């Protein structure tokens, strides 16, 4: 038996507040100016919000109002919590995108290298907004093709937030974290829930035993009921292990955009290139190419070419074509990984402009990604798999036994 653990956080966690502010501002700008270049970082601490970064746009948005409204919506509406949307101090330090970066994005290396008179494809004109590596991952251990530990952790965090915002558990406060340990058999199949840990901010006069009971009934059990095949008979439940969690949010810990990138992605079950998502417009491949890598990996698993698949994409700043595509199926592929990589390159156009177009990324969709994870959610375009048949048609391997992708 093997154990693996992932964590998630609620919308009131300080790092997630920072992510939401960055993405709320991005959405407001991109709604008015889809061609805007946005790279915003947020820091929150007791009574303060600091937003810094680079924005090049024709739009004007009321950033201060957006920030205050969002903080209130999250649930920080009282200065007694050390963070209040109505009174928090807001500092904006925002410049414009460096012309050195804009030069490569506006006109790619490929476009600049063409001889006079050559005609370029539209997708060749835009270069990547930065160099870097991006990973995507998929596994068949859940219906969402996501790792089970992070899936359960996000579901618990969502239930915790819903219990608070609905008033069903009225003594909860916005900050919270969940953590799930799953046991796997030696073949890598999930077989049971070893441990569930929940740390939930609460009012100061709450009895710990009452809270343990309430969270078990309203948060934990409804999630576990969706997985009847998992062994939960001996699951260890831990609620607020220090016994008290009253001081939380930015009063308890400063929060920064991008500090929960593992929570945002695969819970540590796959590698991560290091680039954060929130606050960045889709010309930044840290975001758009990470979405595309998940899109590709999910196609591989959904088409039954592998039970697990990790994709790595590499880009150079100012270039359109990725420098490299790497495929790892961890021994679960029905054909060699090299053939899958070749089929991917023939099926998917992974130039930044093509990714943006295919996944329809110039829309104000980003605030909803800032909590609950960026992957495994059907409302996002990168979670759809319309190219399964195209991908399978590129596989020509005599020893392959390809399953029906719709089984």
Catalytic residues: 13, 15-16, 41, 54, 177, 245, 253-254, 259-260, 280, 284, 286
3-state helix, strand, coil in the chain (%, to 5): 35, 25, 40
CA distance 313 to 303: 20
Tell me how far apart the alpha carbons of residues 157 and 370 are, in angstroms, rounded to a whole number: 13
Among 314, 311, 320, CA closest to 343: 311
* Residue 217, CA distances (Å) to 7, 193, 221, 228, 246 in order: 20, 17, 6, 16, 21
CB 259 within 8 A of CB 218: no
Neighbours of 206 (CB within 10 A): 18
> How far is the CA of 156 from the CAs of 176, 216, 276, 278, 306, in angstroms?
10, 10, 23, 22, 29
Instruction: For residue 144, give Cα distances in angstroms to 141, 294, 375, 377, 402.
Output: 8, 12, 9, 7, 20
* Rg from Cα positions in the chain: 22
Whose tokens are 């009452």? That residue is: 210
Q: How far apart are CA 367 and CA 364, in angstroms?
A: 8
Do 159 and 313 meet the contact criterion of CB atoms below 8 Å apart?
no
β-partners of residue 137 are 310
């Amino acid at each position: 038996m093997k154990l693996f653990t992932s964590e998630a956080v609620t919308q009131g966690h300080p790092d997630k507040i920072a992510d939401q502010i960055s993405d709320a501002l991005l959405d407001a700008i991109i709604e008015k100016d889809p061609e805007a270049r946005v790279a915003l970082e947020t820091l929150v601490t007791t009574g303060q919000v600091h937003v810094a970064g680079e924005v090049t746009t024709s739009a004007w948005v009321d950033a201060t109002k957006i920030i205050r409204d969002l903080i209130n919506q999250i649930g920080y509406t009282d200065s007694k919590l050390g963070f209040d949307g109505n009174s928090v101090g807001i500092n904006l330090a925002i410049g414009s995108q460096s012309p050195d970066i804009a030069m490569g994005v506006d006109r790619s290396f490929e476009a600049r290298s063409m001889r006079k008179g050559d005609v370029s494809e539209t997708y060749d004109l835009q270069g990547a907004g930065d160099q870097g590596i991006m990973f995507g991952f998929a596994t068949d251990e859940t219906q969402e093709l996501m790792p089970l530990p992070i899936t359960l952790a996000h579901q618990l965090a969502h239930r915790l937030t819903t219990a608070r915002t609905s008033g069903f558990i009225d003594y909860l406060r916005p900050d919270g974290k969940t953590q799930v340990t799953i046991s796997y058999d030696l073949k890598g199949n999930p077989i049971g829930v070893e441990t569930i840990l929940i740390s939930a901010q609460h009012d100061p006069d709450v009895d710990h035993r009452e809270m343990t009971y309430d969270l078990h009934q309203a948060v934990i059990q409804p999630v576990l009921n969706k997985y009847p095949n998992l062994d939960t008979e001996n699951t260890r439940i831990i609620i607020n292990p220090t016994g008290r969690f009253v001081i939380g949010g930015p009063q308890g810990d400063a929060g920064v955009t991008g500090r929960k990138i593992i929570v945002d992605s695969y819970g540590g079950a796959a590698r991560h290139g290091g680039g954060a998502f929130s606050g960045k417009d889709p010309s930044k491949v840290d975001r758009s190419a990470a979405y595309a890598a998940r899109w590709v990996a999910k196609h591989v698993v959904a088409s039954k070419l592998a039970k697990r698949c990790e994709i790595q994409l590499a880009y150079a700043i100012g270039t359109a074509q990725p420098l490299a595509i790497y495929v790892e199926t961890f021994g679960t592929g029905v054909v060699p990984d090299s053939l899958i990589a070749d089929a991917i390159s023939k099926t998917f156009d992974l130039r930044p402009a093509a990714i943006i177009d295919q996944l329809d990324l110039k829309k104000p969709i980003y605030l909803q990604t800032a909590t609950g994870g960026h992957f495994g959610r059907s409302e996002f375009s990168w979670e759809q798999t319309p190219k399964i048949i195209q991908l399978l048609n590129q596989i020509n391997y005599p020893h392959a036994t390809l399953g029906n992708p719709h089984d």
